[in-house]
Amino acid sequence: MTDASYRDAIFSTPLDRVASFSFDEQVVACFPDMVRRSIPGYGQILGMLGLLAERHLRHGAHVYDLGCSLGAVGLSLAGRLAPEAFALTGVDLSPAMLARARATAETEAPRHQLAFVEGDIRELDYRASGMIVLNFTLQFLPPADRDAVIARLFEALEPGGILVLSEKIVAPDEQENAWLVERYHDFKRANGYSDMEISQKRTALENVLMPDTLAQHQARLQAAGFARVTTWFQYLNFASMVAFKERAGGTSTETADTSAGGDPA
Ligand SMILES: C[S@@+](CC[C@H](N)C(=O)[O-])C[C@H]1O[C@@H](n2cnc3c(N)ncnc32)[C@H](O)[C@@H]1O
Ligand SMILES: O=C(O)C(=O)C[C@]1(C(=O)O)C=C[C@@H](O)C=C1
């Protein structure tokens, strides 16, 4: 990133009252450091998105990055695909995030078609797309709004298109979940967060980030019409799924990539 990025110290001093977490200026300023130290596998997930696009995206298709923050998903795709291979629209509610996303894209991928628009992903008028990414965004929507958003994304996807959904998750078994959360806190401590920071952030995220189970995600995706859902990544209580929209005739996604050779049969 060329933009200035600060170390996340938002919860490093004791607060009388911990306010609910929001994507304000303070978070924007330290966001790259925050996600790197707080989301297990964040860099690996981003890296894989470029590979998934290479494999599944029709040449010239449109891509949505919903809840794009600083535009990291678009930059990952731009790192793997040629400028004419896709056009991406990043959507976010936060003007401060979008301003930095635009500036970074301009510097780091000037020839790629990366646009950023302010909007609520629950209300957007979606255009037909070959790939839609929700990288740690659905978890911030009120649970009652999630089914409708996923159903609209299914409708917006072209046959053969993919939805990539990365989320913090909760395990249905209480003991398993407690273990995962404790190890997640170990992960945060190892990345330099103090117990106080971990505890205050946890309070700030209560009723703001409400994780679903993997089974809830899978059921929602299937109810929306996705023929196949694969959990391709999990690291502690963070996971990423890819959901495939079938092509007409019932076949699931085929590769858009021609470099891997033809059908061996
Ligand atoms: C954890 S961040 C996403 C990180 C980003 N996708 C990445 O890979 O770096 C969640 C983002 O979702 C945005 N957001 C939350 N609710 C939204 C909504 N209803 N519509 C659009 N954006 C939303 C927030 O402003 C925030 O930037
Ligand atoms: O810090 C945590 O506890 C998190 O859950 C990490 C998480 C996320 O999953 O989106 C929460 C808020 C920030 O946007 C960055 C990361």
- Residue-wise pLDDT for 176-210, tens only, equals 999 999 999 999 999 999 999 999 999 999 999 99
Which of 140, 153, 207, 209 should be mutated for ligand 1, with most atoms under 8 A from CB?
140
Q: What one-character-per-residue DSSP string does 126-154 give?
A: PPPEEEEEEES-GGGS-HHHHHHHHHHHH
Other beta carbons within 10 Å of 232? 14
Residue 1 beta carbon below 6 angstroms from any ligand 2 atom = no
Q: What one-character-per-residue DSSP string does 198-264 give?
A: HHHHHHHHTTTS-PBPHHHHHHHHHHHT-SEEEEEEEETTEEEEEEEPPPTTS--------TT-S--
Instruction: Please list, in sequence order, all residues whose beta carbon lies within 8 angstroms of the beta carbon of residue 117, skipping any fewer than 6 positions away.
Output: 89, 90, 91, 98
Q: 150 among the known binding-site residues? A: no
Residue 72 beta carbon below 6 angstroms from any ligand 2 atom = no
DSSP 1: -
Residues 32, 33, 39, 44: is their CA dihedral positive or negative? positive
For the chain, the distance separating the N- and C-terminal CA atoms, rounded to the nearest angstrom, is 45
Q: Domain residues of the chain, as ranges?
A: 25-243
Helix (H) or strand (E) holding 125, with range, is none
Q: 30 among the known binding-site residues? A: no
State the angle between helix axes of 72-80 and 95-108 in degrees (0 to 180), rounded to the nearest 10: 20
Instruction: Compute the C-alpha angle 69/72/74, nearest 5°.
Output: 105
pLDDT at 257 (0 to 100): 46
Q: Domain 25-243, what fold?
A: Rossmann fold (3.40.50)
Residue 39 beta carbon below 6 angstroms from any ligand 2 atom = yes
Beta strands across the sheet bearing 238-244: 113-118, 86-92, 61-66, 129-135, 157-168, 238-244, 228-235
| 3 state SS for 174-217 | HHHHHHHHHHHHHHHHHCCCCHHHHHHHHHHHCCCCCCECHHHH
36 closest CA partner among 132, 115, 136: 136
pTM, two decimal places: 0.94
- pLDDT (tens, 9 = 90+) of the chain, 265 residues, equals 444 679 999 999 999 899 999 999 999 999 999 999 999 999 999 999 999 999 999 999 999 999 999 999 999 999 999 999 999 999 999 999 999 999 999 999 999 999 999 999 999 999 999 999 999 999 999 999 999 999 999 999 999 999 999 999 999 999 999 999 999 999 999 999 999 999 999 999 999 999 999 999 999 999 999 999 999 999 999 999 999 999 987 654 445 443 433 333 3
Instruction: Please list, in sequence order, all residues whose beta carbon lies within 8 angstroms of the beta carbon of residue 15, skipping any fewer than 6 positions away.
Output: 200
Query: Closest-lying ligand to the alpha carbon of 75?
Result: 1
Residue 35 beta carbon below 6 angstroms from any ligand 2 atom = yes
Residues with CB under 6 A from ligand 1: 23, 35, 67-69, 72-73, 91-94, 97, 120-122, 135-137, 140-141
Q: 68 among the known binding-site residues? A: yes
162 closest CA partner among 76, 91, 232, 75: 232
